[in-house]
Amino acid sequence: MYRKIIVLVLCIIIVALIGCGQLTKQHMDINTTPLSAQTQSYTNETVAATSKISISLGQMNTELSSLPAEKILMSAQSVKIESAVSEYMTFDVTSNIFFQVNRLGKVEADGCITLNIVYKDTAKPNLLKLRAYMLGSDGLAGQKITQNVIPIEMKIADDQPFKSLSSSNMSIKVWDATFMQGISQVYVIKLRGDFSNAFKQQYTGTIVFDFVRDEKLGWFNVGERGLSAGKADYNNLRIDNGMLYMVYKDYSEGGKATVTKYDGTAWEPIGEPGFTQSSVNYTSLSVYNGTPFVAFKDSANFNKATVMKYDRSNWVTVGNPGFSSGEVFDTTIVVNNGIPYISFRDIGSGGKATVMKYDGEKWLSVGNAGFSDGAVSYLSMCLDKGCPYVVYSDWGGSQKATVMKYDGNNWVAIGAKGFSSGAAFYTSLCVDDGVPYVAYQDFGNTGKATVMKYDGINWVNVGTPGFSLAHASNTSLSVYNGIPYVAYQDEVFGSKITLAKYDGNHWNTIGNPGFSSGFGGAPSLYIYRGVPYVSYINNDNSGKLEVMKFF
């Protein structure tokens, strides 16, 4: 069956080449960069596996001369497959191509070829892509053809000149695609015209399929697109021991909380989806030694704060549900050495900032409840060496950014309060080896993205303030080995997500700006071993949740 399959493939390719002179993007969906240029461009690539298909089609077999023409052509095909694939790959070809003689006595062919490659390398998923080309340098009908075209050798029988065949349609899908735990390459080939000359001419060639590993391919989905069952909100991404966890408000479960985990192949819920008693807002996630903790605004308890954790079989409440003194907003949870801390905008304290921790029996305030000078918004918390830090937009200071930390006795300001040049929205905080960094939408710089850090004396800009091209909302900051990264909704690119990294001198985008597949809401950034992961709400996909990573 292989013989019939790929021999015809080549014949078809020949037909397209002859009819068109060369293959271009107008004729099929393929990367037509010359092979030599590709080699220079893909300096990070290594070939992980190779499969070769040698094909010969044509020249009548005299022993079969008594058979109908189409039977002769089918029987005269020769196909040889040489594969050097790894144990985590399978390589297979199927086809339904056939010859037929029309009422004018001319031979035609039709059908499709499906090349199936299944890739399951759980250690390095998403890191392979396929590139196919033909060996040889001779062109068609004696013409020299550049390397971006598939060259084919022809033998002319009886000193007769080559007779062109015509192709009405040839399409090749996904030649240069990334493998995501399984993929199919589909070749659809349709021929029209006189194929009878195949009795006098032989078509030969070898198709080489290179499976290329590239550590810097770009942005790719982690698991399926639209991993939530329906619309999602308040997504929060965390990684613990290499395992990805996600919490979100799940509209398919009545707005209750759902936590899901990526097992290397698919996203699976932890416990029951929608495990909370009622609908939630401001969901926040922390994972400690494989145990996920979730904080949220709990509509079942007067919109107060509730924390739950998964005890390996069920979701259970940590302390009393609705333990805050009043309604909460902007909840953030961090678990440090098994002790959960939660920060929130505390309506019971006039909308000021409050931090609490669980002592094993009850929830206690860390320092005074409502310790900020005035009401706050965009409150965010992190811990460094057991010390809690918070950042917020300070309503008592023209909505400029303020950072405070708990010194063991009191909440004290880090540097000047209200240190940003203008109002700071979407404040996001990271403390790296004792150095606090803050990212925010900077209305002192027309709503662009700005990052600042505390140098021990003052708050200083990290690179150029307002480094984004235009408005940058929903800023999410992560710092890895002293290198800050910021994800944000990028107004220039239709509110898609852009990730920027500071190289010590400049802010540079990671991959393409606006890399998300649609209008991306509320990005949540996490850097794990130098690899950026971003979750976001894809509003062009019914508001479902997606996670992408950059290689």
The type of residue at 46 is T
Per-residue pLDDT band at 447 (split at 50, 70, 90) = very high
Per-residue pLDDT band at 64 (split at 50, 70, 90) = low
Contacts of 317 (CB under 8 A, 6+ apart): 306, 307, 308
Site of tokens 């005074």: 368
Q: Say if 6 falls within a structural domain.
A: yes
Per-residue pLDDT band at 232 (split at 50, 70, 90) = very high
Per-residue pLDDT band at 287 (split at 50, 70, 90) = very high
Using DSSP bridges, classify how beta strands 352-358 and 339-346 pair: parallel, antiparallel or unpaired.
antiparallel
Q: Say if 482 falls within a structural domain.
A: yes
Residues found in the chain: 551
pLDDT of 285 strictly over 90: yes
Whether 399 and 425 map to the same domain: the answer is yes
What percentage of the chain reaches a pLDDT higher than 70?
Answer: 61
pLDDT of 432 strictly over 80: yes
Domain count, the chain: 2
Whether 546 and 512 map to the same domain: the answer is yes
Between vectors from CA 508 to CA 504 and to CA 509, what angle results, nearest 5°? Answer: 145
Whether 153 and 123 map to the same domain: the answer is yes
Rg of the chain in Å (alpha carbons): 31
Neighbours of 451 (CB within 10 A): 26
Mean pLDDT of the chain: 76
pLDDT at residue 58 in the model:
54
137/148 Cα distance (integer angstroms): 11
String of DSSP letters for 125-181: TT-EEEEEEE-----GGG----TTS---EEEEGGGPPP----EEEEEE--SS-B-SS
Contact, 171 vs 11, CB < 8 A?
A: no
pLDDT of 207 strictly over 80: no
Whether 204 and 349 map to the same domain: the answer is no
The stretch 475-503 carries a mean pLDDT of: 95
Q: Say if 259 falls within a structural domain.
A: no
210: tokens are 């290179």
Whether 93 and 117 map to the same domain: the answer is yes
209/172 Cα distance (integer angstroms): 14
Q: How far is CA 420 from the centre of its chain?
A: 33
Contacts of 194 (CB under 8 A, 6+ apart): 106, 107, 163, 165
pLDDT of 23 strictly over 90: no
Whether 479 and 420 map to the same domain: the answer is yes
The type of residue at 504 is G
Q: Give the residues across from 406 on adjacent strands.
A: 411
pLDDT at residue 66 in the model:
66
pLDDT at residue 142 in the model:
31
Whether 390 and 487 map to the same domain: the answer is yes
Handedness of CA 212, 215, 221, 223 (dihedral sign): positive
Contact, 381 vs 334, CB < 8 A?
A: yes
Whether 136 and 236 map to the same domain: the answer is no
Residue 302 backbone dihedrals phi, psi, to 5 degrees: 60, 30
Handedness of CA 374, 488, 453, 433 (dihedral sign): positive
Site of tokens 């015209």: 193
pLDDT at residue 265 in the model:
84
Q: Say if 465 falls within a structural domain.
A: yes
- For 252, the 3-state DSSP assignment is helix
Whether 198 and 227 map to the same domain: the answer is no
Whether 195 and 96 map to the same domain: the answer is yes
Full 3-state SS string of 355-366 = EEEECCCCEEEC
pLDDT at residue 119 in the model:
55
Q: Say if 258 falls within a structural domain.
A: no
69/60 Cα distance (integer angstroms): 9
Whether 232 and 205 map to the same domain: the answer is no
Q: H or E element: which one contains 549?
A: strand 544-550
Residue 452 lies in domain: 219-241+336-550
Q: Which of 178, 197, 214 is the last residue of a domain?
A: 214
The stretch 7-25 carries a mean pLDDT of: 33
pLDDT by residue (tens digit) across 167-202? 332 233 333 333 333 444 443 333 344 556 555 555
Per-residue pLDDT band at 123 (split at 50, 70, 90) = low
pLDDT of 83 strictly over 70: no
pLDDT at residue 305 in the model:
99
Q: Pick the range with the lowest mean pLDDT from 36-40, 113-117, 219-223.
A: 36-40
Contact, 293 vs 340, CB < 8 A?
A: yes
Per-residue pLDDT band at 22 (split at 50, 70, 90) = very low
Q: Which of 214, 231, 262 is the last residue of a domain?
A: 214
CATH number at residue 494: 2.120.10.80
pLDDT at residue 27 in the model:
23
Full 3-state SS string of 399-432 = CEEEEEEECCCCEEECCCCCCCCCCEEEEEEEEE
Q: Which of 167, 196, 214 is the last residue of a domain?
A: 214
Per-residue pLDDT band at 520 (split at 50, 70, 90) = confident
Q: Pick the range with the lowest mean pLDDT from 212-216, 223-227, 488-492, 508-512.
A: 212-216
The stretch 77-86 carries a mean pLDDT of: 54
Whether 102 and 237 map to the same domain: the answer is no
21: tokens are 């002179």
pLDDT at residue 235 in the model:
97
